[in-house]
Amino acid sequence: MNDAKTILVIGTFDTKDDELGFLSGVIRDQGGKVLTMDVSVLGDPSKPTDYSKHDVAAEGGSTIQAAIDSGDENHAMQIMARGASLLAARLHAEGQFDGMIVLGGTMGTDLALDVASALPLGTPKYIVSTVSFSPLIPAERLAADTQMILWAGGLYGLNSVCKASLSQAAGAVLGAAKAAQRPNPDKPLVGMTSLGTSALKYVIPLKPALEARGFEVAVFHATGMGGRAFESLAAQGAFACVFDFCTQELGNHVNGSNISAGADRLTNAGLTGTPQIVSPGCYDLVDVVGWQPVATKWDSHLKHAHNRLITSVVLQAAETNLVALAHCDQLAKAKGPTAIILPEHGLGEWDREGADLHNPDGLKAFLTGIEANLPKTVEAHRLACHINDKAFSDKALEIFDGWRADGTISV
């Protein structure tokens, strides 16, 4: 089959030879081709792989002997992770494969996360892991379009349970490689953050307005993983401009919620010099896991049970001031043009006057903290409106159009 898709299969072929062989066999049986990459350190596979462990270590500027001599399995696997990431990125740039799948436990998963991050958006990247969906995996390690499959019954050797997982994984990665549509590099992309329209409604007027100006718009759900995907793409310079209008994940992070997009939230667009228009939508809400007991430190706070997954806690004035300082600290790192829009009448639908979570004291403390500490490099626009009012969207488009006119936004 001349149009057969090639899948890069990565794993420790010394200890998981049978499992990786089974996975590769299913891919071939379904009409795909396979490239194999061995990331073992101590042992050897039963038969040669397309890329040996020596090839992997050398790609990263090291050797298998150096990994062995380190005497530390963590250090050794990091040598292999670096080499595998660089080798996979090079092979992909050369057009050698169409999708990637990595098989592993905690060691293999650690390596797999690095390899996935080294590959561009739109390249199918699957991780079959015994710890998929686990809190062991921090948000900031996940590439924007990584797919994870739980490797059930896969700790040691083949069995019917793990074959069920592996066969589905093989079909998933091959199917993804056949169906994948890469992002259009010729159309400028605007990245926007938001929550659902019950809380933040600016997406309704802004998305068609930006599309009418010739831009594609990608809206990221700012509930931890969505913000992580947004930051991951921003770090790659994927956006012509960002409308980062829901920075609530930064408050989550400051307040220790595990619904976090990572410590670098609200930094990567600025660090790459991408023009960014920011507004701190839902700044005063800290999301916690709804099906777990809410920590006693929040006993005196207003709360909103959004659904069975998420409960939102409303921050009080002193706490919103700390979130304001965190915003200023992050924005101070920006190397590109940055504007912030500060609506005076609320930053979420539930924070309107008369609404259940109206928080005037918190908003006043937040705005005071922002204005007292905002870096001079950030252009501030304070508006007598709510974030969901037409005046807010109009101001965002006014800034955007001005940047287009003066060449700040290049397309």
Q: Give the mean model confidence (pLDDT) for residues 328-351.
A: 97
Residue 145 in domain: yes
- Of 179, 201, 218, the residue that ends a domain is 179
Q: Is there a single domain that holds both residue 218 and residue 288? A: yes
Residue 184 in domain: no
Q: What is the pLDDT of residue 3?
A: 82
Which token pair is 96? 């050698």
Q: Is there a single domain that holds both residue 174 and residue 310? A: no
pLDDT at 387 over 80: yes
**Would you call 147 helix, strand, or coil by DSSP?**
strand
Q: Give the mean model confidence (pLDDT) for residues 238-242.
A: 96
Q: Is there a single domain that holds both residue 24 and residue 76? A: yes
Q: Is there a single domain that holds both residue 20 and residue 167? A: yes
Which token pair is 236? 């790659």
> For residues 388 and 247, what is the distance between their CA atoms, to the nearest angstrom?
15
Confidence of residue 1 (pLDDT cuts 50, 70, 90): very low
| pLDDT tens per residue, range 225-234 | 899 999 989 9
Which token pair is 333? 């790192």
The length of the chain is 411
Q: Where are the alpha helices (DSSP H) in 201-345?
A: 203-212, 225-235, 248-254, 268-271, 317-331
Q: What is the CATH classification number for the domain harbouring 399?
A: 3.40.50.12030
Tally of domains within the chain? 2
Whether the Cβ atoms of residue 241 and residue 276 lie closer than 8 Å to each other: yes
Backbone angles phi, psi at 37, to 5 degrees: -130, 120
Q: Is there a single domain that holds both residue 116 and residue 212? A: no
pLDDT at 2 over 70: no
Q: Is there a single domain that holds both residue 233 and residue 371? A: yes
Compute CA distances 120 → 9, 123, 236, 247, 273, whole Å.
17, 6, 9, 25, 20
Confidence of residue 176 (pLDDT cuts 50, 70, 90): very high
Residue 163 in domain: yes
**Would you call 104 helix, strand, or coil by DSSP?**
strand
Q: Is there a single domain that holds both residue 164 and residue 264? A: no
Q: Is there a single domain that holds both residue 152 and residue 262? A: no
Helical packing angle, 160-179 and 17-29, nearest 10°: 50
For residue 176, give the H/E element and its range.
helix 160-179
> For residues 349 and 406, what is the distance between their CA atoms, to the nearest angstrom?
34
> For residues 219 and 226, what is the distance between their CA atoms, to the nearest angstrom?
9
pLDDT at 36 over 80: yes
Residue 241: domain span:
189-405
Residue 411 in domain: no
Q: Give the mean model confidence (pLDDT) for residues 310-314.
A: 95
Q: What is the CATH classification number for the domain harbouring 165?
A: 3.40.50.12020
Q: What is the pLDDT of residue 129?
A: 94
Whether the Cβ atoms of residue 112 and residue 39 lie closer than 8 Å to each other: no
Q: Is there a single domain that holds both residue 223 and residue 175? A: no
Q: Give the mean model confidence (pLDDT) for residues 118-128.
A: 94
Q: Give the mean model confidence (pLDDT) for residues 43-70.
A: 96
Q: Give the mean model confidence (pLDDT) for residues 76-84.
A: 96
Compute CA distances 162 → 7, 35, 45, 230, 288, whole Å.
20, 22, 20, 33, 34
Q: Is there a single domain that holds both residue 167 and residue 196? A: no
Residue 72 in domain: yes
> For residues 219 and 207, what is the distance between their CA atoms, to the nearest angstrom?
9
Q: Is there a single domain that holds both residue 19 and residue 66? A: yes
Q: Is there a single domain that holds both residue 193 and residue 304? A: yes
pTM: 0.85
Residue 410 in domain: no
Q: What is the pLDDT of residue 135?
A: 82
Q: What is the pLDDT of residue 139?
A: 76
Residue 391 in domain: yes
Q: Give the mean model confidence (pLDDT) for residues 341-360.
A: 95
- Of 156, 179, 202, the residue that ends a domain is 179
Q: Give the mean model confidence (pLDDT) for residues 213-229.
A: 94
Compute CA distances 106 → 68, 88, 131, whole Å.
19, 20, 7
Q: What is the pLDDT of residue 119?
A: 95
Residue 222 in domain: yes
